[in-house]
Amino acid sequence: MKIFDVHTHIYPDNIAGRAVDALGRFYDFVPEGDGTYNDMTEADRRCKVNGFLILAVATNAHQIRRVNESAAAALERGRADGFEAYAFGGLHPCDDMKAEIDFCLEHGLSGIKLHPDIQGVDIDDPRLYPLYEEAEGRFPVYFHTGDDRPQYRFSAPEKLVKVMRDFPRLTAVAAHFGGYKANEEAVRYLCGCDRIWFDTSSALWTMTPEEADAIISRLGVSRMMFGTDYPVKLPDTELPRFFRLRLTDKETEDVLYNNAKTLLSASRSRDRV
């Protein structure tokens, strides 16, 4: 059975420790990984993970080119090491968003990742609309979505609904079952939109298998993808949680591998048209 991890983050070795510490402080948990390429891929080999999607995050406009150059280099390294590697670039509101998007696509990146809460930018902020205009019909936009803390409403699921209405050809991924620790809200707003995909990252460890089964059933197993949110969790701990779900063999194969490859293959095909 093939396994694809659709939600990972890695950092250059010289800043990985600081980046992982900052992530842990922001969310008040202790990440399992050290945030480096070597640590992630060693875990992937242990767990027989075939491929991964690296998601870059630009916490400010000055970081954009640097984080995307790093993502492109990690993408090449992953493929050279035999993984089915993909990467999405990071973006932040800036003066020339089109140039940064073009850089990502020209360097083999397959989409764009936004983390509204860390970036302090609402999903439906008009400054992001040039990104959505570029993305429509071409490549997916991957969103961190949801939070149970009232000060972090930048990524609220209802804001993603507004964007999807304003851009009727946009494909989106709503991470963490559509709402990190805010799954009832995610189901209420995001259920039924066939242009929104979801992942299991930073979700399975927050609920029982029965609760996870119910959410997957509501959101749709055909658009659900397995993710660890490395370095938050390792496949060593997330895969056993995933295998406790009551999915059929076909559904298990789809969530673990097929759905992610369908999304990513469609993105590459659209960009060639």
Helices (H), the chain: 13-27, 37-46, 64-80, 97-106, 116-119, 129-135, 157-166, 183-190, 209-219, 235-242, 249-253, 259-272
Both tokens of 195, joined, read 């242009």
Q: Which tokens sit at 146?
A: 């949801």
Read off the pLDDT band of 269 (50, 70, 90): very low
182 beta partners: none
pLDDT for residue 271 is more than 70? no
Please state whether the peptide bond connecting residue 231 to the residue before it is cis, i.e. omega within 30 degrees of 0.
yes
pLDDT at residue 46, as a whole number: 98
Q: Is the pLDDT of residue 143 over 50?
A: yes
Percent of the chain residues past pLDDT 70, beyond the cut = 97
Instruction: Give the pair of three-digit tokens for residue 241.
Output: 């949680």
| Angle between helices 157-166 and 183-190 in degrees, nearest 10 | 20
Which of the four pLDDT bands, split at 50, 70 and 90, describes residue 266?
Answer: confident
Quote the tokens at residue 99: 């140039």
Distances (CA, A) of 119 to 24, 57, 91, 113, 116: 16, 9, 10, 11, 5
Top-level class of domain 4-272: alpha beta
According to the model, what pLDDT value does residue 268 have? 55
pLDDT digits (tens, 9 = 90+) for 168-216: 999 999 999 999 999 999 999 999 999 999 999 999 999 999 999 999 9
Identify the pLDDT of residue 272. 41
pLDDT computed for residue 62 by the predictor: 95
Domain ranges of the chain: 4-272
Assign 251 to helix, strand or coil.
Answer: helix
The contacts of residue 201 (CB under 8 Å, 6+ apart) are 6, 7, 175, 176, 227, 228, 229, 232, 233
With pLDDT > 90 as the criterion, what percentage of the chain qualifies? 96
User: Tens of pLDDT along 30-83?
Assistant: 999 999 999 999 999 999 999 999 999 999 999 999 999 999 999 999 999 999
